[in-house]
Amino acid sequence: MVSADIPDRLKRFEIPGRVTLLEGNGDLPKIEVTTDSSTAEIYLHGAQVTDFRKKDEPPLLFTSQFSRFGKAQAIRGGVPIIFPWFGPREGEPSHGFARLSDWELHEATALPQGGVTLRFNLPEVADSATWPPFTANYVVRVTDALEMELIITNAAADEEFSFENCLHTYLAVGDISGVSVSGLRGATYLNAIDNYAQKTDGGDALRIQGEVDRIYLDTKSAVEVSDPKWQRRIRIDKEGSASTVVWNPWIAKSQQMPDFGNEEYKQMLCVESGNVARNRVVLAPGRSSVLKVRLSSAAL
Ligand code: BG6
């Protein structure tokens, strides 16, 4: 697509050889980032990173070939920003309005070491009868790792702001049957496929052998995903996150999702960092919360 169709207010953020604005799928504006060691793609719709890959490595993020790309729809893959609620909510879209909103790009910077930082903010989209006034900012830093930072500030003078958030990261894997997840040993989780029953993780690394949909509570440490097929280890470092969600839809759920291929469950695993359920964030007036996730990879 030609970047001539992108309005000047966005084109001014272009940095030759580093940051390009173009029309992506569904004619939605997309940012392409090139660094010395990696490439990335970010849609303004949802401020959603849909691709990140290091040079000479398979993609780190999975985005479905069947994803929809439209104003009213969530993109299936990459890193959807889940805010201000996680999961279903009666009469409202699943996982909140942040991933359905068009965010504003307000800064693009080339870093001296060859990386790129992008800064976004969420325009006023929330129903003011339901939500206290707040600001939402998002920073994406692309280097040989992908760093994302969601900053929520309670702008109310005298009201608490209580919300859930999550960076719903779809990791790309070579073959889910060989994958194992470490860092959650002994943690308590809510099992979404068993009516959110509370359970405790067993001893060893988690293997994915069927549908998995778990909210691990009080898990603040890094998680590692080992992928023997691609001989790669993905590390998820995080700050300001007390919950870790692990999700793979497996066979039946994949078939039910119109924006996801029947076989694609073999190529992805969501390991999501946020603050969900009893870990939800409660912000006093004037206070901010920062949720930070860093994705990096190394050979197995
Ligand atoms: C996960 C949830 O985070 O997101 C799952 O734990 C859910 O229960 C999945 O199915 C996908 O949600 P959505 O709204 O993007 O289809």
The pLDDT of residue 23 is 96
Return phi, psi of residue 252, to 5°: -65, -45
- Identify the band that residue 4 occupies on the pLDDT scale cut at 50, 70 and 90: low
Rounded to the nearest 10 degrees, how much is the dihedral formed by the CA atoms of 90, 96, 100, 104?
150
Work out the average pLDDT over 226-232. 98
Report the C-alpha gap between 298 and 300 in whole angstroms. Answer: 6
The pLDDT of residue 129 is 84
Evaluate if residue 203 carries a pLDDT over 90.
no
For residue 246, how far is its CA from the centre of ligand 1 (angstroms)? 10
Report the C-alpha gap between 81 and 281 in whole angstroms. Answer: 15
Question: Of 252, 42, 53, whose CA–CA distance to 148 is shortest?
Answer: 42
For residue 88, how far is its CA from the centre of ligand 1 (angstroms)? 9
- Structural tokens at position 214: 């778990």
Atom of ligand 1 nearest to the CA of 253: 10
Instruction: Give nearest CA residue, ligand 1 atom 14.
Output: 94
What confidence tens digit (pLDDT) does each residue in 132-163 have?
999 999 999 999 999 999 999 999 999 999 99
Atom of ligand 1 nearest to the CA of 168: 3
Look-up of token digits 């690394």: 205
Question: Of 48, 74, 81, 85, whose CA–CA distance to 276 is shortest?
Answer: 85
Evaluate if residue 275 carries a pLDDT over 50.
yes
Give burial (CB, 10 Å; 0-12/13-18/19+) of 93. Answer: middle
Within 8 A by CB and 6+ apart from 74, the residues are 46, 68, 80, 93, 94, 95, 99, 100
Pocket test for ligand 1, best of 193, 256, 270, 271 (most atoms within 8 A of CB): 270
For residue 76, how far is its CA from the centre of ligand 1 (angstroms)? 10
What confidence tens digit (pLDDT) does each residue in 73-116 have?
999 999 999 999 999 999 999 999 999 999 999 999 999 999 99
Contact 272 CB / ligand 1 (< 6 Å): yes
- Structural tokens at position 52: 């990140």
DSSP state at residue 79:
B
Within 8 A by CB and 6+ apart from 196, the residues are 190, 215
Q: What is the mean pLDDT of the chain?
A: 96
Annotated catalytic residue: which of 45, 164, 168, 264?
A: 168
DSSP state at residue 99:
G
pTM of the model: 0.97
Give yes or no: 168 in active site: yes
Look-up of token digits 């609620």: 85
Work out the average pLDDT over 277-286. 98
Return phi, psi of residue 170, to 5°: -90, 105
Report the C-alpha gap between 157 and 133 in whole angstroms. Answer: 9
